[in-house]
């Protein structure tokens, strides 16, 4: 598989984002959208203009296309996928179904993204016991997390890929199995796994747990396209519930009304802007047309991240100034490279002045490739990094 040939064939389709003119290495936090995405914006506008309030049928056709893409990616034909504009919106609805009380315990990690970390931290400050398993010692995260789960645990929330390090949670299936055996709801944040590292949900223990999925990064769907995947057998009932969760009951008299949930909409909110779904549906069609599928995408990310690491190491930089954040093998890594340096924020700013897009948090600077990234661009970004240092 010639990755440069693939990248070069794609770049003209991303000309609005100028992917051939700029070094876009925020592939792990915001990828460019193909030019066809703007057609979706116009289609949404004209459907609204022509159909007015009848536009929602068209909008949900787009959402079903996104669901189908995810079911195919995860080999998950029976999964239920509720859409929302953010993973946090879905998270709080899921948490509301747990009926948490003071001293109830949630088990999570200290390496979760802020939407989860802040929310669980807030619960902790309001009386819920939250066990934050430390993620610094990567080799034993799975063992320590597994040991922290017990029959009285009210919920487990974990990432399949950690957003800071780009490392994959090991032995996730065993952790999910322990949760299922104890009847503990388990939520897996897969924002950094979808379209990067294959996982099969259908026919495995993962069918019985919950998955958070977002389209802002590797899916190239942009903002506003997130899903909570829940099992067919889900008995959770969110107390924070929007009216979109049950269209079928809107004609009932309020005196006859009971809280019910329509198929695939259990964790839905209320009226949303459907523009994002139109945009994303065009991206899904584009991926299908250009055969950017589960046979190709994981290979692209695996090889490009390894290439980034190899080129960085060939620079011979002073490890006291900047170094790889970890030396875990390829099978433990996902879709981006992480470097550790005390000057992470300064480096990010200096690189941006040279039209190099990265992101930095604390002492970490991250470089994320995308399918349209070439080997020459990897060499260029590392040359500019050396110059910036």
Separation in Å, CA 26 to CA 141, 218, 352 = 27, 10, 11
Q: What is the mean pLDDT of residues 367-376?
A: 98
Q: What is the mean pLDDT of the chain?
A: 96
Integer Cα distance of 25 and 387 in angstroms: 17
How confident is the model at residue 14, as a pLDDT? Answer: 98
How confident is the model at residue 66, as a pLDDT? Answer: 98
How confident is the model at residue 334, as a pLDDT? Answer: 96
Whether 341 has a pLDDT exceeding 90, the answer reads yes
- Structural domains of the chain, ranges and CATH numbers in brackets: 3-32+296-388 (3.90.1150.10), 38-287 (3.40.640.10)
Q: What is the mean pLDDT of residues 151-179?
A: 97
Whether 113 has a pLDDT exceeding 90, the answer reads yes
The reply to whether the predicted model has a pTM over 0.85 is yes
How confident is the model at residue 373, as a pLDDT? Answer: 98
Task: Tell me which residue of 298, 305, 297 sits closest to 10, measured CA to CA.
Answer: 297
The residue that leads in pLDDT, 353 or 254, is: 353
Q: What is the mean pLDDT of residues 16-21?
A: 97
Task: Return phi, psi of residue 118, to 5°.
Answer: -65, -40
Whether 156 has a pLDDT exceeding 90, the answer reads yes
Residues 6+ apart with CB under 8 A from 339: 312, 322, 323, 324, 325, 364, 365, 366, 367
**33 — pLDDT class (breaks 50, 70, 90):** very high
pLDDT in tens, 286-335: 999 999 999 999 999 999 999 999 999 999 999 999 999 999 999 999 99
Task: Tell me which residue of 218, 215, 272, 273 sits closest to 41, measured CA to CA.
Answer: 273
pLDDT in tens, 168-226: 999 999 999 999 999 999 999 999 999 999 999 999 999 999 999 999 999 999 999 99
**119 — pLDDT class (breaks 50, 70, 90):** very high
Whether 148 has a pLDDT exceeding 90, the answer reads yes
Max CA distance (Å), the chain: 73
Whether 254 has a pLDDT exceeding 90, the answer reads no
**What is the percentage of the chain residues whose pLDDT exceeds 70?**
100
Whether 143 has a pLDDT exceeding 90, the answer reads yes
Q: Give the chain as a 3 state SS string.
A: CCHHHHHHHHHHHHHHHCCCCCEECECCCCCCCCCCHHHHHHHHHHHHHHHHHHHHHHHHHHHHHHHHHHHHHHCCCCCEEEEECCHHHHHHHHHHCCCCCCCCEEEEECCCCHHHHHHHHHHHHCCCEEEEECCCCHHHHHHHHHHHCCCCCCEEEEECECCCCCEECCCHHHHHHHHHHHCCCEEEECCCCCCCCCCCCCCCHHHHCEEEEECCCCCCCCCCCEEEEECCCCCCCCCCCCHHHHHHHCCCCHHHCCCCCCCCCCCCCCCCCCHHHHHHHHHHHHHHHCCCCCCCHHHHHHHHHHHHHHHHHHCCCCCCCCEECCCCCHHHECCCEEEECCCHHHHHHHHHCCCEECEEECCEEEEECCCCCCHHHHHHHHHHHHHHC
């Amino acid at each position: 598989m010639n990755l440069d040939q693939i990248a070069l064939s794609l770049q003209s389709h991303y000309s609005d984002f100028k992917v051939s003119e700029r070094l876009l290495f925020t592939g792990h936090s915001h990828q460019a959208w193909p030019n066809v995405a703007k057609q979706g914006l116009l289609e949404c506008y004209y459907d609204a203009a022509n159909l007015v309030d009848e536009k929602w049928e068209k909008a949900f056709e787009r959402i079903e296309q996104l669901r189908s893409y995810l079911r195919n990616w995860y080999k998950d034909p029976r999964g239920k996928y509720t859409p929302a504009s953010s993973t946090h919106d879905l998270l709080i609805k899921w948490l509301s179904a747990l009926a948490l009380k003071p001293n109830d315990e949630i088990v999570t990690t200290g390496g979760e993204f802020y939407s989860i970390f802040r929310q669980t931290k807030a619960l902790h400050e309001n009386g819920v016991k939250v066990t934050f398993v430390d993620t610094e010692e990567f080799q034993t995260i799975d063992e320590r997390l597994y040991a922290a789960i017990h029959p009285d645990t009210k919920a487990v929330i974990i990432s399949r890929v950690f957003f800071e390090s780009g490392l994959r949670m090991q032995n996730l299936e065993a952790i999910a199995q322990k949760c299922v055996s104890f009847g503990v709801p388990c939520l897996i944040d897969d924002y950094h796994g979808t379209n990067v590292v294959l996982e099969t949900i259908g026919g495995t223990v993962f069918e019985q747990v919950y998955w958070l999925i977002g389209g802002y990064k590797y899916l190239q769907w942009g903002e506003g396209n997130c899903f909570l995947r829940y099992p067919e057998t889900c008995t959770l009932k969110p107390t924070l519930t929007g009216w979109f969760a049950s269209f079928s009951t809107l004609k009932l008299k309020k005196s006859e009304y009971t809280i019910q949930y329509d198929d695939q909409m259990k964790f839905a909110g209320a009226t949303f802007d459907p523009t994002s779904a139109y945009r994303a549906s065009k991206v899904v069609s584009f991926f299908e047309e250009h055969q950017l599928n589960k046979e190709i995408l994981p290979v692209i990310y695996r090889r490009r991240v390894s290439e980034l690491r190899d080129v960085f190491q060939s620079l011979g930089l002073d490890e006291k100034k900047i170094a790889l954040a970890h030396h875990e093998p390829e099978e433990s890594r996902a879709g981006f490279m992480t470097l550790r340096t005390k000057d992470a924020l300064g480096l990010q700013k200096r690189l941006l002045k040279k039209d190099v897009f990265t992101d930095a948090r604390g002492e970490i600077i991250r470089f994320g490739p995308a399918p349209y990234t070439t080997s020459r661009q990897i060499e260029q970004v590392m040359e500019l990094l050396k110059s910036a240092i």
